Amino acid sequence: MTNNKNIFYFLIASIFILTSCGTDDPEKNGIKAGKIVCESEEIREEIEDLEDDISDIQEDIYDLDWDDDDDRLEIAELRKEEFEIGKKIQKLYIKNMKLNMKYEKLKLRSYSAIEDEDDRADWLEDFEDAKDDYIDDNCD
């Protein structure tokens, strides 16, 4: 019987801890969202740079002659490099999607901090203002 009580108290304590982990403050969540937007923008810029590298590699490959043995080896090396850059791009896309999910989860907190639809609109406005202020002050 005491074992069941211990489990019950443990579950209650766990629920309390889990529900208190996040904050519903729109300004704090807006700052977190701003950090996410800045990081996401850095990732997009890195992806663009890598895509430019792939474009350069493809131009180099186009200039080579497949029938020439030396050129064929260089084409193989360039294709391998292109493949490795493509893998980096895919990893960055995945990282960026995870950031986007975090951002959306922050916005969803607006539902737990409201009494009616007007409260939610106010919360979202404060959230967006804090996010935009953070971006203006900290993002390149």
* Residue 11 included in any domain: no
Q: What pLDDT shows up at residue 16?
A: 52
Helix, strand, coil percent content, the chain, rounded in steps of 5: 90, 0, 10
* Residue 125 included in any domain: yes
**Could you read off the pLDDT of 38-87 as tens digits, one per residue?**
999 999 999 999 999 999 999 999 999 888 888 899 999 999 999 999 99
Question: How many domains in the chain?
Answer: 1
* Residue 17 included in any domain: no
* Residue 46 included in any domain: yes
* Residue 20 included in any domain: no
Q: For 1-140, where are the E strands, in sequence order?
A: none
- Cα–Cα dist 131/36, whole Å: 9
* Residue 44 included in any domain: yes
**Residue 99 near residue 39 (C-beta atoms within 8 A):** yes
- pTM of the complete model: 0.75
**Could you read off the pLDDT of 87-135 as tens digits, one per residue?**
999 999 999 999 999 999 999 988 887 777 788 889 999 999 999 999 9
* Residue 122 included in any domain: yes
Q: Which domain holds residue 45?
A: 26-138
